[in-house]
A and B are shown apart, each in its own frame.
Chain A
């Protein structure tokens, strides 16, 4: 079983696949323009303390996402973490 978490709950340094964006069309479009789409794979780079923004790597770019927005992007992470030797880049 895979577990579903938001970008905020996700641990720093982990990878996951975006499965749902809980927001209106406007927010989805903004996210989509920077490549945050359902089906894409993201890696969480950092999160600032006290409800600070999340930074993720998606494709070849890094995107900073405000706390509230990040809580509404849900990702699915493989339960067993065997990455580091992953084949894709």
Chain B
């Protein structure tokens, strides 16, 4: 049996889905499209009088109507043909909006059951719904549910086998009128005063307070990420590496005879008989330390905060507030979502530019992201490298990237034909995130990152060792010196870091530690490393999402801008900050 979950966006459909299915969930693309949907399995337990078999549950993309106005809606209509039963998830606090879809589903004569979700919220929003009456009118079962607590789910599941198509019929032209009639019969709204939560909600999109609140939220988010990241590093990971891992690695080093190729690749160079996790540069020392001691704590903190912001309902409001700024760079407000994801890791960031409608927007967003949105792995390493010299260096690196983002965006918007689309969406009310779902989401993202990043990171350290040993970095350094030393003012050995940066940016920043750079060189090197080319994982996704031609264009822009910005930065800093 195939069960389809259908409903408007933001009605808690995904929470209903996770209630019904449990953990084994597969996300996939609908054939031939970039529209994503999730699939899972639900049990039909015998104690509820069911067969004990399982049913496939599909979380169909959220839609407002069966008359498609977007690709996602077209897909939803297609999927409807394959379903045996539809669970129509309805927002009980906004029945009027939801019923438009419900009536269209009834007209399809497909077996239907209605979940009046967010039922618990109807109480304090002053809404009363006569469920019996609604069932009478529509001729299908309507079950009040609360996905967060699980209220109503037993009843919903127990009825799944006996679901029948509704009998309600109406004139298609009169649909909105019909919706109005039904609402008048079943719903009662008790007048009440504006609540505190709504005032806050209004303040975060208002003309005067919207931008200050956005800045405050983003600043607080960054502060919390840094606090958690540094806390984990300082109190958990560094003590672990220094007190437990280092002695163990010294033993391994002795076993390997403190010398030789294998020793150098695994353990690296010892500094006065000790392991230095920054400089030894072995797979098991620096490699693991960069991953677990520097990058992962920040990545974890980042996904914690991002997932919270997502589930609380703040992001759509942020999209409203930044919309006009984003229009200047050829995007629209909703592009804030891929950008925010990109700050975690560019790969999911680039994948999510699919939510943008036009090719032009996708190109601009992807190019801006891979040049000027530093991922958390890189950010964590830059903080580790430059942060100890104070805030000035960090401000210079990230400030430069911000300026590049804006200028390049404005330029692309001017040069490329076409206009940016307009935003148009419903703003969901603020909700306290569901703890269980939040944990699941953070965990999935974290594990994804671990799986995705670890092999490349270790491979990067490995290759760096080989290249050093074989003298390739020296060789490259000699030939690229005119550019690297001449334009960027960096020592020629930086070529090695730039080369490894193609594999992993965090390892590349780690290699800068070995080079004994001045403060001014560090700033230039970090900016250049951030901009010049995406790491191999982002590169392959970029290629897949943009196609080869657009990818080449994007790469050309990257290289030109890196040399330009790196060169200017070098000149400016060396003239302004000669005392450093």
**1/0 per residue B87-104: CB within 8 Å of A?**
000000110110010000
A3 part of interface (Cβ distance < 8 Å):
no
Max count, chain A CB within 10 A of own CB: residue among B210, B320, B323:
B320
B449 part of interface (Cβ distance < 8 Å):
no
- What is the CB-to-nearest-CB distance from B373 to chain A, in angstroms, rounded to a whole number? 23
- What is the CB-to-nearest-CB distance from B66 to chain A, in angstroms, rounded to a whole number? 10
- In the complex, what distance in Å separates the CA atom of A59 from the CA atom of B93? 11
Q: Of B100, B205, B422, which is within 8 A of A68 by CB?
A: B422
Contact call A46/B426, Cβ cutoff below 8 A: no
- What is the CB-to-nearest-CB distance from A77 to chain B, in angstroms, rounded to a whole number? 19
Q: Which B residues touch A68, using CB under 8 A?
A: 422
Q: B192's closest neighbor in chain A, by CB?
A: A89
- Report how many residues on chain B are interfacial, defined by Cβ distance under 8 Å: 35
| Chain A, range 54-80, C-beta contacts under 8 Å to B | 55, 59-69
A19 part of interface (Cβ distance < 8 Å):
no
Instruction: Using known A-B contacts A12-B207, A60-B94, A61-B97, determine if residue A50 contacts B426 with beta carbons closer than 8 Å.
Output: no
Q: Of A34, A37, A47, which is within 8 A of B426 by CB?
A: A34
- In the complex, what distance in Å separates the CA atom of A31 from the CA atom of B425? 9
- In the complex, what distance in Å separates the CA atom of A64 from the CA atom of B320? 7
Instruction: Using known A-B contacts A33-B64, A55-B320, A89-B189, determine if residue A61 contacts B426 with beta carbons closer than 8 Å.
Output: yes
**1/0 per residue B68-100: CB within 8 Å of A?**
010000000000000000000000011011001
Contact call A59/B320, Cβ cutoff below 8 A: no
- What is the CB-to-nearest-CB distance from A27 to chain B, in angstroms, rounded to a whole number? 9
| Chain B, range 302-322, C-beta contacts under 8 Å to A | 316, 319-321
- What is the CB-to-nearest-CB distance from A69 to chain B, in angstroms, rounded to a whole number? 5
- In the complex, what distance in Å separates the CA atom of A68 from the CA atom of B424? 11
- In the complex, what distance in Å separates the CA atom of A12 from the CA atom of B202? 12
Contact call B327/A51, Cβ cutoff below 8 A: yes
A49 part of interface (Cβ distance < 8 Å):
yes
**1/0 per residue A19-45: CB within 8 Å of B?**
000000010011111110100000001
Q: B419's closest neighbor in chain A, by CB?
A: A68
Q: A29's closest neighbor in chain B, by CB?
A: B69
| Chain B, range 56-74, C-beta contacts under 8 Å to A | 64-65, 67, 69
Instruction: Using known A-B contacts A59-B97, A61-B97, A64-B319, determine if residue A26 contacts B191 with beta carbons closer than 8 Å.
Output: no
Q: B334's closest neighbor in chain A, by CB?
A: A64
Instruction: Using known A-B contacts A46-B207, A51-B324, A53-B323, determine if residue A66 contacts B424 with beta carbons closer than 8 Å.
Output: yes
Contact call B422/A63, Cβ cutoff below 8 A: no
Q: Which B residues touch A29, using CB under 8 A?
A: 65, 67, 69
Q: Of B189, B207, B425, which is within 8 A of A48 by CB?
A: B207
Contact call A64/B202, Cβ cutoff below 8 A: no
**1/0 per residue B176-211: CB within 8 Å of A?**
100000000000010100000000011001110010
Q: Which A residues touch B64, using CB under 8 A?
A: 33-34
Bin the interface of chain A by size: 20 to 34
- In the complex, what distance in Å separates the CA atom of A19 from the CA atom of B332? 28
Contact call B205/A55, Cβ cutoff below 8 A: yes
Contact call A47/B333, Cβ cutoff below 8 A: no
B423 part of interface (Cβ distance < 8 Å):
yes
Q: A34's closest neighbor in chain B, by CB?
A: B426
Tell me the interface secondary structure of chain A in the complex. mixed
Q: Which B residues touch A52, using CB under 8 A?
A: 320, 323-324
Q: Which A residues touch B97, using CB under 8 A?
A: 34-35, 59-61
Contact call B94/A59, Cβ cutoff below 8 A: yes
Instruction: Using known A-B contacts A45-B202, A48-B320, A60-B93, determine if residue A53 contacts B423 with beta carbons closer than 8 Å.
Output: yes
B215 part of interface (Cβ distance < 8 Å):
no
Contact call A49/B427, Cβ cutoff below 8 A: no
- In the complex, what distance in Å separates the CA atom of A60 from the CA atom of B321? 21
Q: Which B residues touch A59, using CB under 8 A?
A: 94, 96-97
Q: Which A residues touch B426, using CB under 8 A?
A: 34, 61-64
- What is the CB-to-nearest-CB distance from A7 to chain B, in angstroms, rounded to a whole number? 12
Q: Which B residues touch A66, using CB under 8 A?
A: 323, 332, 421-424
- In the complex, what distance in Å separates the CA atom of A79 from the CA atom of B15? 46
- In the complex, what distance in Å separates the CA atom of A35 from the CA atom of B100? 10
Q: A47's closest neighbor in chain B, by CB?
A: B207
Contact call B69/A61, Cβ cutoff below 8 A: no
Max count, chain B CB within 10 A of own CB: residue among A12, A35, A68:
A35
Contact call A50/B324, Cβ cutoff below 8 A: yes
- In the complex, what distance in Å separates the CA atom of A29 from the CA atom of B67? 8
Q: Of B69, B94, B201, B333, which is within 8 A of A30 by CB?
A: B69
Q: B316's closest neighbor in chain A, by CB?
A: A64
Q: Which B residues touch A32, using CB under 8 A?
A: 176
- What is the CB-to-nearest-CB distance from A21 to chain B, in angstroms, rounded to a whole number? 13
Contact call A48/B321, Cβ cutoff below 8 A: yes
Q: Which B residues touch A51, using CB under 8 A?
A: 324, 327
- What is the CB-to-nearest-CB distance from A16 to chain B, in angstroms, rounded to a whole number? 18
- What is the CB-to-nearest-CB distance from B318 to chain A, in angstroms, rounded to a whole number? 11
Q: Which A residues touch B205, using CB under 8 A?
A: 45-46, 55, 62, 64
Contact call B207/A49, Cβ cutoff below 8 A: yes
| Chain B, range 255-285, C-beta contacts under 8 Å to A | none
- A residues near B (Cβ < 8 Å) are 12, 26, 29-35, 37, 45-53, 55, 59-69, 89
- B residues near A (Cβ < 8 Å) are 64-65, 67, 69, 93-94, 96-97, 100, 125, 176, 189, 191, 201-202, 205-207, 210, 316, 319-321, 323-324, 327, 332-333, 421-427
18 additional contacts, CB 8 Å, given A34-B64, A63-B427?
Answer: A29-B67, A34-B424, A45-B205, A45-B206, A46-B206, A46-B207, A55-B320, A61-B426, A61-B427, A62-B426, A64-B319, A64-B427, A65-B423, A66-B421, A66-B424, A67-B422, A68-B422, A89-B191
Closest 6 CB pairs of A and B: A66-B422, A33-B64, A52-B324, A62-B427, A60-B94, A46-B206
Q: What would be 23 A-B contacts, judged by CB atoms less than 8 Å apart?
A: A12-B207, A26-B69, A29-B65, A31-B424, A32-B176, A34-B425, A46-B202, A46-B206, A46-B210, A55-B205, A61-B97, A62-B205, A64-B205, A64-B316, A64-B320, A64-B323, A64-B333, A64-B423, A64-B424, A65-B423, A66-B332, A67-B422, A89-B191
